[in-house]
Amino acid sequence: MSQITEKAEKYVSRLLATELDPNIHYHNLRHTQRVVKSTKEILESGTVNGADPELLELAAWFHDTGYTKGTEEHEEKSCEIAEEFLSKEGYDPEKLKKIKEIIRSTERYAEPKTIEQEIIRDADASHFGQKSYWETTEFLREELELLGIKTYSQAEWLNVNINMFRSEHRFYTDYAKEHWEPGKEKNLNRLVKQKRADKAMAKKEKLKAKYKNESPDRGIQTLYRVTLKNHLTLSDIADTKANILLSVNAIVLSVVLSNLIPKLDNPSNFYLVVPSIIFILFTTVSMILAVIATRPNVTSGQFTKEDVKQKKVNLLFFGNFHKMKLDEYEWAIDELIKDKEYVYKSLTKDLYFLGLVLNRKYNILRLTYTIFIIGIVISILAFVIAFWFFGGQSRMEEVAMLGF
């Protein structure tokens, strides 16, 4: 390192450390040091001829000092800072002119004309082929946003970088092509994969949001779920009550038929005929009503495409589709889930008709219990009256006949 480059390093390091806007996260001292290091790396590789190391190193140190005076035309400002410093040091004007040309060649769309310009452009973009690229590119994105130049979304920034790699940037020196190009390709592939992954995730989130918006609100879902559950629970209770009545009446009727009926053949027991008939009649009616309360009512089990299009059929009740073919039912369900209003109407119909079924069941059960109770009371009274008025007389007649 020459004496002038040592002085330039100290000057630029102090300048960037003290006078640079703190919002500049990328074009700072660390970036400058990396460019200087990459420049030396190319020069020391022995793959370039005719390049002036001193001019390149000085240009590398000064190439982004213009950011201390703002972001607009920072290359020209960097040239001014380099000229001011090197002129005071009595540097050769011809060499200074070349240094400024090298600095200007770092402009984004500039095309290098000399080997020195090719080297500094490769050094300035050396991070494209390094693992640190991902951290570095985020620093640049933050810088652009903080300085109010432009704000990029994650997807936009990926596109900018992919376009940069594919269309704008290329390495010029043989050393950069051999050592940094493979890393650049890896980073490009990773960018493309990241873009695909983000695109797939965005699509997934979009579909999720779409279905979330199209599906019923949680409160509505809870309303239907709880109400349907309550209806089914009440239906189970009604069936259980009907089964209890059916079982009790069946047991009582079997006992009566097996024990009481055979005794009616005896003339002395004729007074029990009427109470027995009353008892059997009420028990039988109770059993019949209990069966009617639990007797299922299945509908035709068929619908037409016109019924579905006009939203007349409730596809959630098995009685409306049990005779349909699978492909026809699948088509109908697809039509149903496309229309949120149709879904609501189907659920509402389910609730309504379940309510009608429950009303019918509980009305019949109420009538059954009433008949059962009335039948028990009337039957007991009939037996009591029969025993009271006719039971004693029949005994006396039986005894008299035996005595005769």
Q: How far apart are CA 144 and CA 26, in angstroms?
A: 9
- Give 355-403 pLDDT, tens digit per residue: 888 888 888 888 888 888 888 888 888 878 877 776 555 444 443 444 4
Q: How far apart are CA 174 and CA 120, in angstroms?
A: 13
Q: How far apart are CA 82 and CA 77, in angstroms?
A: 9
- Report yes or no: 245 and 290 within 8 Å, Cβ to Cβ: yes
- Report yes or no: 25 and 147 within 8 Å, Cβ to Cβ: no
CA 167 remoteness from chain centre: 37
- Report yes or no: 274 and 260 within 8 Å, Cβ to Cβ: no
- Give 165-210 pLDDT, tens digit per residue: 999 999 999 999 999 999 999 999 999 999 899 888 878 777 666 6
With a CB cutoff of 8 Å and minimum separation 6, the contacts of 240 are none
In the chain, helix, strand, coil percent, each to 5?
Answer: 80, 0, 20
Q: Which residues of 208-247 are buried (b: 16+ CB within 10 A; e: fewer)?
A: eeeeeeeeeeeeeeeebeebeeebeebbeebeebbeebbe
pLDDT in tens, the chain (404 residues): 689 999 999 999 999 999 999 999 999 999 999 999 999 999 998 888 888 999 999 999 999 999 999 999 999 999 999 999 999 999 999 999 999 999 999 998 899 999 999 999 999 999 999 999 999 999 999 999 999 999 999 889 999 999 999 999 999 999 999 999 999 999 999 999 998 998 888 787 776 666 555 555 667 778 777 887 887 788 788 788 888 878 888 887 777 777 766 666 666 566 667 777 887 888 888 888 888 877 776 666 677 777 777 777 777 766 667 777 888 778 877 777 777 777 777 778 878 878 888 888 888 888 888 888 888 888 888 878 877 776 555 444 443 444 43
- What's this model's pTM, rounded to 2 decimal places? 0.54
CB atoms within 10 A of CB 303: 20
Within 13 A of 219's CA, how many CA atoms are on the CB side?
0
Provide, rounded to the nearest whole percent, the portion of the chain with pLDDT above 90. 43
With a CB cutoff of 8 Å and minimum separation 6, the contacts of 228 are 347, 350, 351, 354
- Report yes or no: 386 and 275 within 8 Å, Cβ to Cβ: yes
Alpha helices in 45-73 (DSSP H): 53-62
| Cα 181–Cα 182–Cα 188 angle in degrees, nearest 5 | 85
What confidence score (pLDDT) does residue 100 get?
A: 95
Tokens of 117: 């310009």
Burial of 203 (0-12, 13-18, 19+ CB in 10 A): exposed
Q: How far apart are CA 126 and CA 170, in angstroms?
A: 11
Q: How far apart are CA 194 and CA 186, in angstroms?
A: 12
What confidence score (pLDDT) does residue 88 get?
A: 93
